[in-house]
């Protein structure tokens, strides 16, 4: 059985959790790992109905899951709003089921909120970005309640740190 690797949201250090999907999880994880206040990251799969997916399952684009990153952060060092700004800046939120050369619903843009406050902030952030007209096309990012998060295989964790950059396809 695959590890449901959700980061513990109840802890003594008042750390918070967030989950984003913005294309291949390797680059997304690396972008967030660089931010002061981010305490830990896990790459995995979320948003689908298929239980205990593997990378191969998700790559077949039949599970409904997106490649995602779950982030534990200290809100005293970095705000959810600041992390959302990074999220919007590292991918194209106007392309449905695609980021660059990666095509399929597993590469969709998605914010999975864990609290009502995150939901409100994410929706407001998306609305403000749409009003700014930074993107000429409609923003298709899904904003959904967080669901089961399945930790990806170990070789995907901190991939850029282990192997350097490169394509998501191995």
What confidence score (pLDDT) does residue 162 get?
86
Write down the pLDDT at residue 81. 98
- Residue 30 Cα distances to 68, 75, 78, 105, 143, angstroms: 12, 19, 16, 21, 22
Examine the pLDDT at 170 and tell me if it is beyond 50.
no
**pLDDT given at position 93:** 97
Residue linked to tokens 């399952």: 57
Q: Is the pLDDT of residue 10 over 60?
A: no
Instruction: Please report which confidence band the pLDDT of residue 42 belongs to, taking 50, 70 and 90 as the band edges.
Output: very high
Q: What is the pLDDT of residue 166?
A: 60
pLDDT value of position 2: 43
- Mean pLDDT value across residues 4-11: 51
What letter does residue 23 receive in the DSSP assignment?
S
Task: Quote the DSSP letter at residue 38.
Answer: E
Q: What is the pLDDT of residues 110-168, one digit of tens each?
A: 999 999 999 999 999 999 999 999 999 999 999 999 999 999 999 999 988 888 766 56
What's the topology of domain 16-153? Answer: 3.30.1060
pLDDT digits (tens, 9 = 90+) for 69-117: 999 999 999 999 999 999 999 999 999 999 999 999 999 999 999 999 9
Q: Is pLDDT above 80 for 169?
A: no
Q: Return the structure tokens found at 129.
A: 């970005």
Just list the catalytic residues. 24
Residue 40 has pLDDT above 70, yes or no: yes
**The pLDDT value given to residue 13:** 77
In whole angstroms, what is the distance from residue 109 CA to residue 92 CA? 8
């Amino acid at each position: 059985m695959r590890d449901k690797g959700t980061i513990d949201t109840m802890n003594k250090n008042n750390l918070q959790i967030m989950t984003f999907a913005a294309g291949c999880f390797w680059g997304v994880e690396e972008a967030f790992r660089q931010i002061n206040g981010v305490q830990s990251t896990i790459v995995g799969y979320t948003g689908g109905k298929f239980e205990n997916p593997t990378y191969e399952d998700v790559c077949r684009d039949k599970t409904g899951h997106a490649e995602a990153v779950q982030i534990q952060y200290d809100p005293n060092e970095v705000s959810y709003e600041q992390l959302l700004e990074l999220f919007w800046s590292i991918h194209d939120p106007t392309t449905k089921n695609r980021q660059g050369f990666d095509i399929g619903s597993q590469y969709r843009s998605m914010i999975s909120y864990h609290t009502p406050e995150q939901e409100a902030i994410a929706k407001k952030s998306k609305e403000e970005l749409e009003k700014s007209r930074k993107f000429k096309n409609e923003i298709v990012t899904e904003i959904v309640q967080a669901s089961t998060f399945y930790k990806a295989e170990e070789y995907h964790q901190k991939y850029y740190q282990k192997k350097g950059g490169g394509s998501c396809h191995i």
